[in-house]
Amino acid sequence: MSDAPDDLRLSFGKRVRYGAEAAVFLSTMGLFKIMGLDAASALGGFIGRNVYYRLGVVNRARENLRAAYPQMPEAGREAIVLAMCDNLGRTIAEYPHLGAISTHGANPRIRTIETDVPKAAAMSGKPVMFISGHFANWEVMAIGTYEIGYDAATVFRPPNNPYVDRWIARQRMQYGFKEQIAKGTHGMRRIFTALRRGKPVCFLVDQKTNEGIPAPFFGRDAMTTPAPAALALKLGAILQPVSIRRTGGAHFEVGYPPPIAFTPSGDQDRDIAQLTAVINAHIEEQVRKEPSQWLWVHRRWPTSRDQAQMATGKRAQALAGAAVRVEREGSSLT
């Protein structure tokens, strides 16, 4: 289940505000539900191209693209922004239909490829961590992985609105994943426990985190969570990348490239930092293949404040913190 905050912890003002927001959100989702998956996805794409595309927040995508592809013509970058907005609108509109997005049925929505790779990982007897980013409809990673036989836990960043969070959690449960773990200190313990018990975990690892470490991404350091690297090194877990592509409308392809190869040096901080950089390199490789399918609006690269923190030793603190949290969970479960 979701780790949504208890309503009683919210102030009266927040409950009223979140309730009003949720009423609008749920009404919109109800409309998408009535329309059916294909029509909802198409309308979502139209809204993305004609509404989201004009919002100020999309300027962040333009800034990120200019930094990542400085030689690309402006028209090329703008085409990526427009396609990204189309994809985002479709993804939002598809949430009421997650239970219908499947590899089965008369009209399969997901094509899975390279499935022998994760099956071999399962036979190794090691914990498996599936990692990807906000590509296409990112919920499809967990759906496709579930349908090739993995009952994995899903790690997610909950929306601020707890009512919206609960609704989204219920949609995810339609495709079988009952264990949903919110990021955070409590979430780390649950992730560690799941992996120790042999339960796979699905991560989206492409968002900025203030508690992260700088790791190369498109030629610039990006604040990146060291948790997947720290967990993999501590538990000997397999890091299994997952590729996600929208192939047209509400149809997708989910692929499983070879697991990430990494040989530890024995220097804990160095290994966490280097493996985190390798993970970023895999995400960057996927973005470069089809940049229009990635969510470029993330604050992925450091602000001036982040850069000041790096200069004052926050990187070392983040590395040490990740290692300590993993060690603490390991000790408490031994």
Side by side, which strands form the sheet with 201-204? 180-182, 153-156, 201-204, 128-132, 238-241
Q: Could you tell me the CA-to-CA distances from 105 to 101, 146, 222 in Å, in that order? A: 10, 16, 41
The token duo for 202 is: 């699905």
At how many degrees (to 10) do helices 227-235 and 314-333 cross? 40
- Whole-angstrom distance, CA of residue 91 vs CA of residue 44: 7
- For the four alpha carbons of 108, 112, 113 and 117, in that order, the dihedral sign comes to negative
Least confident among 26-35, 54-63, 87-96, 313-322: 313-322
Q: How confident is the model at residue 184 (pLDDT cuts 50, 70, 90)?
A: confident
Quote the pLDDT of residue 132.
Answer: 96
- Whole-angstrom distance, CA of residue 284 vs CA of residue 316: 24
| Element counts in the chain: helices (H) and strands (E) | 12, 10
Q: Where are the beta strands (DSSP E) in 47-189?
A: 110-113, 128-132, 153-156, 180-182
Q: How confident is the model at residue 62 (pLDDT cuts 50, 70, 90)?
A: very high
> Is residue 243 predicted with pLDDT exceeding 60?
yes
Which of 287, 282, 274, 300 minimizes the C-alpha distance to 221? 300
More confident residue, 217 or 301: 217
> Maximum CA pair distance of the chain?
58
Quote the pLDDT of residue 124.
Answer: 80
* C-alpha dihedral, 58 to 60 to 63 to 68, nearest 10°: -100
Q: How confident is the model at residue 2 (pLDDT cuts 50, 70, 90)?
A: very low
Least confident among 3-12, 164-173, 212-221: 3-12
> Is residue 333 predicted with pLDDT exceeding 50?
no
- Whole-angstrom distance, CA of residue 334 vs CA of residue 322: 18
The token duo for 23 is: 């009423």
Q: Output the pTM of the full model.
A: 0.86
Q: Where are the beta strands (DSSP E) in 24-152?
A: 110-113, 128-132
- For the four alpha carbons of 47, 51, 57 and 58, in that order, the dihedral sign comes to positive
